[in-house]
Structure 1
Amino acid sequence: MVHAPQTCEALLIWFQKQGGTVDLTSVGLVDFPNSEGGRGAIALKDIPEGHVLFSIPRDLTLSTRTSSLPNLFGLDEWKRFKLDEGWSGLILSMMWEAAQGPKSKWSEYMSILPTSFDTPMFWDEKDLAELQGTSIVSKLGKEDAEEEYKTKLVPALESRPDLFPSSERETHYSFHAFHLMGSRILSRSFDVEKWQGDEDEDENEMHEANTSMGSAMDVDENRAADPHPHRPEGEEHDEEEHEEGEEEEGEQDSSDTAMVPMADMLNARFGSENAKLFHERTDLKMIATKPIKAGEQIWNTYGDLPNSELLRRYGHVDIMALPNGEQGNPGDVVEIRADGILKAVHEIYPNITEESFSERIDWWLEEGEDDVFDFDWDLELPDPALAIICLFLLSEAEWIKAREKSKPPKPKADTEVLTTLKRAIQDRLKDYLTSVVEDEALLQRDDLTLNHRQAIVVRLGEKKILDSFLTKIAGLVEQQSNKAGKRKHETEAPVKGHGKKSKR
């Protein structure tokens, strides 16, 4: 991620001039070396838990609520062009604010935002090929982004040449600018909900601010992330995605998504969070959630995302010590799709008919069950994955009974199910072009590009998880085999005294 050359000092001057407050005795903004994450915030002295680091007026956040563009465009027309859906409206508003130059309230703020990104959205085909096997490429949504630009943004631009002069199309309203603003939203935005408190409520009552997956923001795990309603194929919930978002249409008010100056300066690292953003009626406050020592970095959180998502959204990966003594990201996860499990069942039980599989899959999805299963460092066998294997292995009579009861089978991990899951994992490992050993050797080289190195880190972490599951499954199968052998031996053993003459 490359930032504009404007200084942190310039941001602080602008921020305070616009009504923001910062405890400059406690918080310092710095430019870190490239290897340490660009810009961020550090503690200038010991900071106690509960200390307010800075406060942002709500009207200083940049969203479709605070930008004047939607009103100038006309709210009815805004909705007619579907700019109230997803991130298109905010992207257009940010384009327009940038085009206003010094006349925009956010001119100085936008001048310090990143001008380029290391995210895979901007990689060439050679670098993208290094991500084969991961789910990243399928989640980029490049084609969806281009379609959205052409079908929503361009018609809106052409309808109002007074607001969007054709002479500014290439500089401020191009497809590249669309990508740039979208990436800024993806990496830095917050979910700033409209204040819903009663007028008689205490103005000091606070609520944690949720994020739309910004780089320095707290995540409420009960809310979905990335509010954009368009996703590519089978991401987390198998929905379409514009390059920059992942939420079902209608689940979140798109006007909640906002850029939050100062708050987006905080970096994040797995398990390191020491500050959170809280809502008040008129302000947002960044508050220390634990003591912070002088010289330490002030961290918000991404929600402890896997490296695949960190790279896709923010252009970096986290590497730290794992419980097993290796290096990686404790939040890493590997997705195995239902069709991968179906393929494994086919390979082991070729006599099961396609028609039966098709009916069972349709019913499974109609019941609201998952079709993508997550495998992570907890090494707990996912119940939905076990349950769908059980479904595929039901006899016809059992299948009919389950369908009549509208009740998917309970997950179980018997030898038959474990053998099928083992095959699915082995097949999933074939999606990667390299082995664990090859990747570990590659990481020892000093001539790798940043993109290549980070791609290796992502795929290596995933493969190690899958290898660990194979080891666990092998152990479980062995345990079951030993138990079965013991039961058989006990059944076949002679009863005490059997065959001997009784004493008289």
Structure 2
Amino acid sequence: MSDATLKSFLDWFHKNGGSVDATSVGFKTFPESEGGRGAVALKDISEGHVLFTIPRSLTLSTRTSSLPSRFGVDAWQNMKLNQGWTGLILCMMWETAQGTSSKWAGYSDTLPIHFDTPMFWNEADLTELNGTCVVEKLGREEAEQSYTEKLLPAIRTRPDLFPLEQAEYYSLANYHLMGSRILSRSFNVEKWESEEEENENSKDSTNRRADGMDVDSSDGPERAEENGDEESHHIEVEEEDDEDDSSDTAMVPMADLLNAKYESENAKLFDDENELRMISTKPIKAGEQIWNTYGDLPNSELLRRYGHVDLLPLPNGGLGNPGDVIEIRADIAVSITVQQHPSLTSDSVQERVDWWLEEGGDDVFVLESDLELPEPLISLVRLLLLKQSEWETAKGKGKPPKPKVDADSLSIIHDVLQTRLKSYPTTLQEDEVKVSGAISTNTKNAIVVRMGEKRILNDTLIKIREIQAKGNSKKRKGAGVDSGAQKRSRK
């Protein structure tokens, strides 16, 4: 963003009711490793200080844009534009097409027109992500299906709102662009409710407030992705629980200028009835960057959503992201269990898997950098290994086995992790050599992601082998004692 664009935006922001503490908050361009253009403390800022405020009416969502009402509320719902992010994407397209007559014309120029996220990578770059958690979450095909089946039909029904001469604003490329803007910059801003409405809604658990530090009885809106994130950037809200309202997703001018970095948050957005306020959550020294939060995400998610990775000192040395995770599909665990125990019948296994899923069991397990084995994974493996009578008892009680690891389950989990590690086309050692060479940014970021995942797998496998070795040692010692006892008894 140029200085001229920033000045124009600030003028627009103030004219529309926004306010910034200009004595405390400034803007500058930081190194790319620090997020690029961001906010800086102009003086020492104390905790609880209001940095800037944004009128709710200045946020851009399906609630604040006039398009849904012009389109017709019933027609909007019939076209399923109230589901997922397609409606907000269409609003953003339409507002852009209005040019200077749009209320958000002064804001649109601040939004990125280019993304380094894998959604826009070529096939060669995407192959560098093979085996990582990123690949299955891109959802390009699903996004384009949503564009074809929802957005295009809606546009064709209203040529008065979407004239043919403005077709360029509603292209597939622009759809991806707007979706990526939402993915990388939106916040979850719930509709304000009075205390009476809030108490009434809490009775049936339909009102969920975002977590945040209490400031003047206000709760903090979160980055929109912090509460659910397993699909493409255009359709993931559709996959969330019914109680999540897709109209809560909003673009928030000014707030989205703040960068974020792992465990660096020092400011957060909080809501009141008529405005949102960015408030410092800890003291900030003059010259320091003002950081918002993405939720301390792993590099796989940072790359997928924002197109960058974090490289920070790791506890055991080297650089990486302490928040990295590795995801393991349940079908791998099922397959390895059957391989190690061929006596398990396919019908029995399928029955147990179906029951596991019906009872809300996970189909993906997350292994974190603390190297603790996921309890649901242990529980599923033990469920598959139950004798028939034990299985019937567990099913009758509606409870899977406790996540207590034993030799059999540990052996299976070891092979599950080993199989997951083999899904990468390269080894960790090969990555360490390649990442230090002359490579493109996309390739480097992809390698950093897979190295973080592989470190967790390798370190967990080492931990499992140490546990197995200790168990075998105890068995050998026990066997030696028994043998001696037998010899003495024969005397």
Shorter-normalised TM range: over 0.9
Determine the C-alpha separation between the residues in 1 that align with 2:309 and 2:232: 22
The alpha carbon displacement at 1:261 in A equals: 0.4
Residue 399 (structure 1) shift: 2.0
**Equivalents in 1 of 2:481, 2:436: separation in Å?**
54
- Alpha-carbon distance in structure 1 between the residues aligned to 2:235 and 2:291: 23
Match of 2:443 among 443, 447, 452: 452
Pair 379,430 (structure 1): closer, same or farther in 2 beyond 3 Å: same
Q: Which amino acid aligns with 2:443?
A: H
Q: 1:181 aligns with which of 174, 178, 182?
A: 178
Distance 1:199 1:492, change over 3 A: closer
1: CA distance between counterparts of 2:234 and 2:103? 27
Segments of 5+ residues of structure 1 without an aligned counterpart are 214-218, 227-234
Residue 54 of structure 1: aligned partner: 52
Q: Which residue of 1 aligns with 2:395?
A: 403
Per-residue CA deviations over 1:62-103 (Å, capped at 9, x if unaligned) read: 111111111111111111111111111111001010001110
1:480 corresponds to: 471
| Alignment correspondent of 2:144 | 146
Q: Is the 8 A contact 1:182 1:244 kept in 2?
A: no
The counterpart of 2:252, out of the listed 255, 260, 285, is 260
Match of 1:385 in 2: 377
Summarize deviations over 1:235-283 as a string: whole Å, max 9, x none.
4xxxx64546354252311111100000000000001000010111111
Whether 2:198 is the aligned partner of 1:206: answer: no
Q: Secondary structure at the match of 1:96?
A: helix
* Aligned-partner Cα distance in 2 for 1:181–1:132: 26
Q: Are 2:237 and 1:225 aligned?
A: no
Q: Which residue of 1 aligns with 2:211?
A: none
CA contact (8 A) 1:145 1:242 kept: yes
1:131-142 correspondence to structure 2 within 5 Å = 131-142=129-140
Please point out which of 289, 296, 308 is paired with 1:304. Answer: 296
Q: Distance in 1 between matches of 2:37 and 2:80?
A: 35
The aligned amino acid for 2:349 is: F
Alignment map for 1:45-194 (pairs within 5 Å): 45-170=43-168, 172-194=169-191
Aligned-partner Cα distance in 2 for 1:397–1:5 = 72
Decide whether the 8 Å contact of 1:8 with 1:30 is kept in 2. Answer: no
The residue type equivalent to 2:182 in the other structure is: I
SS in 1 for 2:195: coil
Name the count of aligned residue pairs.
474
Q: Distance in 2 between matches of 1:164 and 1:497?
A: 95
Asked if the contact 1:131–1:455 (Cα under 8 Å) also holds between the matched residues in 2, the reply is: yes
Q: Percent of aligned pairs with the same residue?
A: 56
- How does the TM-score come out when normalised to structure 2? 0.92
Q: Distance in 2 between matches of 1:136 and 1:327?
A: 20
SS at 1:270 equivalent? coil
Q: 2:20 aligns with which of 22, 34, 49?
A: 22
Contact 1:5 1:112 in 2 (8 A): no
Post-superposition CA distance 1:300-342 (Å, at most 9, x none):
1111111000000000001101111221111101011111111
Match of 2:331 among 323, 331, 339: 339
Q: CA–CA distance in 2 between the matches of 1:206 and 1:438?
A: 50
Relative to structure 2, which stretch is displaced further, 348-357 or 20-29? 348-357
**CA separation in 2, counterparts of 1:123 and 1:364?**
37
Cα separation, 1, equivalents of 2:2 and 2:28: 14
CA distance in 2, matches of 1:324, 1:244: 38
CA gap of 1:248–1:200, structure 2 versus 1, over 3 A, is closer
- Structure (1 or 2) with the greater helix fraction: 2
Shift of residue 495 of structure 1? 9.6
Query: 1:281 — aligned with what?
Result: 273
Moved over 4 A (4+): 3-6, 240-244, 495-500
Q: Distance in 2 between matches of 1:101 and 1:412?
A: 61
* Preserved contact between residue 41 and residue 287 of structure 2 (Cα < 8 Å): yes
Contact 2:261 2:291 in 1 (8 A): yes
Deviates more, 1:433-442 or 1:325-334: 325-334
Q: Is the 8 A contact 2:84 2:234 kept in 1?
A: no
Query: What residue is the counterpart of 1:428 in the other structure?
Result: 420
Alpha-carbon separation, structure 2, partners of 1:359 and 1:133: 29
The letter of the residue matching 2:464 is: I
Deviation at 1:487, TM superposition (A): 3.2
- What do the CA deviations read for 1:25-54 (whole angstroms, capped 9, x no partner)? 111112234443221111111111111100
RMSD over aligned Cα atoms:
2.1
In structure 1, what is the equivalent of residue 193 of structure 2? 196
Question: Compared with structure 1, are the counterparts of its residues 225 and 4 closer, same or farther at alpha carbon in structure 2 (3 Å cutoff)?
Answer: farther
Counterpart position of 2:212: none
Aligned mates of 1:47, 1:21 — CA distance in 2: 17
Distance in 1 (CA, whole Å) between partners of 2:395 and 2:124 is 47
Q: Report the more deviating stretch, 7-16 or 180-189.
A: 7-16
- Farther off after superposition, 362-371 or 450-459: 362-371
> What's the offset of the Cα at 1:384?
0.6
Shift of 1:404: 2.5
1:315 is aligned to 307
Question: 2 CA distance for matches of 1:391 and 1:5?
Answer: 61
